[in-house]
Structure 1
């Protein structure tokens, strides 16, 4: 009797298990499972702010409250960010400086009444363009922009040296030397004045004019 009851209970339990859709182990796998196993992990990085970002924001708020940094520097609007980046600026500046190099080269040829040799002009401009690109890019990266005073001092020194040398070279050297050196130095002079803040740019121009007047050179 007991054996019969046990057998009946097992049959009933088996029937109830099949009817309720209980989990049954299997070695079969469908296509969705295969795709999930072969799927590569997401390596694109975090989609939102990380704990480091939140900690940095909190630290900045504490620094503003304690007066370590001014409140105006606490946040930067999106409009103040450079839309094309350092490389884009370097490309645009290098193209402009190369065109200026060609223009100055033509002016020097015309000043000394020489026949313009376009192949030589374009060859010198093509040689100078990578130099312009590298220098401008280095001075537009984030590391350089963290030190605006040093950047302005650099532009001031370059503009004064280039301007004074242009004046000296035009008054002391022959036309062949001026023809070779004036275009690249003149382009660097103009670029450094444009890049510097107004105070530094005006100071550099004043220094060049003072050098011209003090030595009695002619403006050419």
Structure 2
């Protein structure tokens, strides 16, 4: 066996590309017992290597530190197709929001939008009360009360309960304490809804027209806000109290 044949035989042990496959005429019937790697054998070996590497990667535990925002590297594709690190670009807002938990991206905007809707409820109730008891509708004082009293008060109240004014009370405390804070907030919603609902029933049935015009819009808006904050099950809990109060004292439904 000459040097060229020995080199071709040894090259079959470390085939990495198609150029490393030795070219030779097909063997005849007498010499077919010689074992050489075919393209199918090489493809099967490569597939087994890929499957083994994927299985090993699947069993590798995920490092929690690699998911921290400071350990994430932003890259971009260069002009020639190479991957270039982009150190100047900040993390996407969606990624930052996911690392912070379920907190909204614009908490003040959410508070203002909710306060605007509740202010519209306050203005509607004020118009209904004045339309029922007053001789004529005067929209100027109602608009002033809604814009300069109801809206700022509702905005501060919603921001306080949503943790916007005091973000450290909900975002930087321990998970166990955070759970108790959220439970206490839900309890305040339930108590507020029941007390405001019962007082609204007593106010509109037993008090004079001046008291109804003065207090009913604010109490009704407060009751609507507490019910909205609690969700479906909490809303049922906020309605049960006023319903039992109306049934116990014999208030009818008009």
The TM-score normalised by the length of structure 1 is: 0.61
Kindly state the Cα deviation for residue 109 of structure 1 after the two structures are TM-superposed. Answer: 1.9
Quick one: distance in 1 between partners of 2:233 and 2:240? 11
Q: Which residue of 1 aligns with 2:116?
A: 95
Quick one: distance in 1 between partners of 2:170 and 2:133? 40
Q: Which residue of 2 aligns with 1:136?
A: 158
| Residues 96 and 205 of structure 1: CA distance in aligned 2, closer, same or farther (over 3 Å) | same
Kindly state the Cα deviation for residue 114 of structure 1 after the two structures are TM-superposed. Answer: 3.5
Quick one: distance in 1 between partners of 2:239 and 2:155? 24
Question: Is residue 137 of structure 2 the alignment partner of residue 116 of structure 1?
Answer: yes
Quick one: distance in 2 between partners of 1:177 and 1:124? 16
Kindly state the Cα deviation for residue 93 of structure 1 after the two structures are TM-superposed. Answer: 1.2
1:175-212 Cα distance to aligned partner (Å, 9 max, x none) = 11100101111111001001013322211101111101
| Residues 144 and 195 of structure 1: CA distance in aligned 2, closer, same or farther (over 3 Å) | farther
Kindly state the Cα deviation for residue 148 of structure 1 after the two structures are TM-superposed. Answer: 2.1
1:105-137 Cα distance to aligned partner (Å, 9 max, x none) = 111122336421101111221211111011100
Q: Which residue of 1 aligns with 2:226?
A: 192
Q: Which residue of 1 aligns with 2:250?
A: 216
Quick one: distance in 1 between partners of 2:242 and 2:215? 18
Q: Which moved more, 1:177-186 or 1:103-112?
A: 103-112
Quick one: distance in 2 between partners of 1:152 and 1:114? 41
Quick one: distance in 1 between partners of 2:142 and 2:161? 27
Quick one: distance in 2 between partners of 1:114 and 1:157? 36
Quick one: distance in 1 between partners of 2:101 and 2:107? 14
The TM-score normalised by the length of structure 2 is: 0.53
| Displacement over 6 Å in runs of 4+ | none
Contact 1:170-1:178 within 8 A present in 2 as well: yes
- Structure 2 unpaired stretches of 5+: 1-68, 72-96, 172-177
| Residues 138 and 122 of structure 1: CA distance in aligned 2, closer, same or farther (over 3 Å) | same
| Residues 197 and 113 of structure 1: CA distance in aligned 2, closer, same or farther (over 3 Å) | same
* Higher helix proportion: 1
Secondary structure at the aligned position of 1:116 is classed as coil
Quick one: distance in 2 between partners of 1:103 and 1:82? 31
| More contact order relative to length (CA 8 Å, sep ≥ 6) | 1
How many residue pairs were aligned? 150
Q: Which of 150, 160, 163 in structure 1 is aligned with 2:184?
A: 150
Quick one: distance in 1 between partners of 2:141 and 2:102? 40
